[in-house]
């Protein structure tokens, strides 16, 4: 019994130590976080802290028991893929059920392509989900994708212009020879990239 309690305490300590990384906040939960919650609930490991499941959720996980139970239920019904997708898009369980067959290990399958489930692809994922759940024409998605690309290029151009301006201010300062050489190489590369991006925006 004592060995089991020690094991439970170890598992709880490991989970609590990385709880922040699971972002069990504001309705956004990672699959890993919910899996840990399920293990703690099913194994009644919260008892090692002298707490009930409800007290553990509120005091240690920072969420309500109802919310924890709801997340565990969604994990069991929809699987980890739902939480991966909902971490980068605002997809509801109902909409996920409608596109579940299009979600693979490689990402969200749309028009013969796989869109990786990453924060960088959030706009494309949102557009694909909209098309897949509304029955809109694929041409609408392609047009939106082009618009997203245009905005991304424009944003990158603004960021690079700001970076080049900062580098030029550094170049005007008195630096040692080594720093001057590194700065010159970096500035030249930044200017070259800016020219290529600017050309893409104008095209």
DSSP assignments along 133-173, one per residue: HHT--HHHHHHHHHHHHHHHHHHHHHHHHHHHHHHHHHHTS
Q: Can you give the pLDDT of all 203 residues of the chain as single tens digits?
A: 433 443 444 455 555 554 544 444 434 567 778 888 888 899 898 888 899 999 988 888 888 899 999 999 999 999 989 988 988 888 889 999 999 999 988 899 887 788 999 888 888 898 889 888 886 555 555 555 566 566 666 666 777 788 778 778 777 777 777 777 777 888 788 788 777 777 765 65
The HSE-up count of residue 163 (CA atoms within 13 Å, CB side) is 16
The whole-number pLDDT of residue 25 equals: 42
Q: Are 21 and 14 in contact (CB under 8 A)?
A: no
The whole-number pLDDT of residue 181 equals: 79
Determine phi and psi for 191, rounding to 5 degrees.
-65, -40
pTM to 2 decimals?
0.54
- 183-191 contacts, C-beta under 8 A, 24 or more apart: 190/160, 190/163, 190/164, 191/164
Separation CA 93–CA 117 (nearest Å): 16
- Extents of the domains making up the chain: 1-78, 149-202
Q: What is the DSSP string of 109-139?
A: EETTEEE--SGGGHHHHHHHHHHHHHT--HH
Place of tokens 């509801």: 92
What radius of gyration, in Å, describes the C-alpha atoms of the chain?
24
The whole-number pLDDT of residue 192 equals: 81
The whole-number pLDDT of residue 2 equals: 38
Burial class (CB in 10 A: 0-12, 13-18, 19+), 105: exposed
Among 22, 11, 21, residue whose Cα is nearest residue 45? 11
Beta bridge partners of 110: 113
The whole-number pLDDT of residue 97 equals: 92
Structure tokens of 193?
């990239």
């Amino acid at each position: 019994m004592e060995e089991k309690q020690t094991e439970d305490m170890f598992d709880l300590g490991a989970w609590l130590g990385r709880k922040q990384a699971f972002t069990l906040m504001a309705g956004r939960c990672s699959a890993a976080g919910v899996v840990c919650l399920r293990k703690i609930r099913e194994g009644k490991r919260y008892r090692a802290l002298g707490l009930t499941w409800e007290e553990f959720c509120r005091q240690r996980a920072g969420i309500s028991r109802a919310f924890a139970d709801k997340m565990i239920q969604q994990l069991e019904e929809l699987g980890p893929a739902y939480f991966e997708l909902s971490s980068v898009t605002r997809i509801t369980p109902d909409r996920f059920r409608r596109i579940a067959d299009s979600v693979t290990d490689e990402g969200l399958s749309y028009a013969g392509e796989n869109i990786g489930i990453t924060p960088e692809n959030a706009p494309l994922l949102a557009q694909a989900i909209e098309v897949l759940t509304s029955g809109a024409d694929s041409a609408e998605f392609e047009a939106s994708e082009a618009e997203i690309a245009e905005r991304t290029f424009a944003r990158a151009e603004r960021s690079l212009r700001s970076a080049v301006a900062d580098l030029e201010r550094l170049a005007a300062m008195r630096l040692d020879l080594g720093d001057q050489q590194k700065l010159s190489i970096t500035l030249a590369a930044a200017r070259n990239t800016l020219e290529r991006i600017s050309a893409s925006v104008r095209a």
